[in-house]
Amino acid sequence: AQSVTQPDIHITVSEGASLELRCNYSYGATPYLFWYVQSPGQGLQLLLKYFSGDTLVQGIKGFEAEFKRSQSSFNLRKPSVHWSDAAEYFCAVGRIQGAQKLVFGQGTRLTINP
């Protein structure tokens, strides 16, 4: 069965510190991987996606993620967080071929300390 695990429910970091949010997936085929961000009361905004090519992908707002097939991971990173990065982050997996439902992780809530 397809599944996504985000082990950290809540993370707190100081403004300016580096960030890594973990995501592990279980998928029977070549996955299409996504990170979305959701600010309070808002919909989901795509940060970045991966389905082939360079395993280090760059996204919006200074985020990047690295696909590691051997570890079934797709961790999200940012070298220096800003207070505006406080939000909930969701990792998701889908099938590469064709329109397909996404399976989401439970989300990681990020709090930024000033």
Partner 1 sequence: GAGVSQSPSNKVTEKGKDVELRCDPISGHTALYWYRQSLGQGLEFLIYFQGNSAPDKSGLPSDRFSAERTGGSVSTLTIQRTQQEDSAVYLCASSLALAGEYEQFFGPGTRLTVL
Residue with Cβ nearer partner 1 (98 or 114)? 98
Surface-to-core class of residue 47, CB atoms within 10 Å of its CB (0-12 exposed, 13-18 middle, 19+ buried): buried
Give the shortest CB-40-to-partner 1 separation in angstroms: 12
Q: From CA 86, how far away is CA 95, in angstroms rounded? A: 29
Q: From CA 48, how far away is CA 57, in angstroms rounded? A: 7
94, 109 contact by CB (below 8 A): no
Give the shortest CB-32-to-partner 1 separation in angstroms: 6
CB proximity list for 41: less than 8 A, separation 6 or greater: none
Residue with Cβ nearer partner 1 (91 or 112)? 91
Residues that bind partner 1 (CB under 8 A): 32, 34, 36, 41-46, 49, 51, 90, 92, 94, 96, 98-107
Give the shortest CB-68-to-partner 1 separation in angstroms: 22
Residue with Cβ nearer partner 1 (3 or 84)? 3
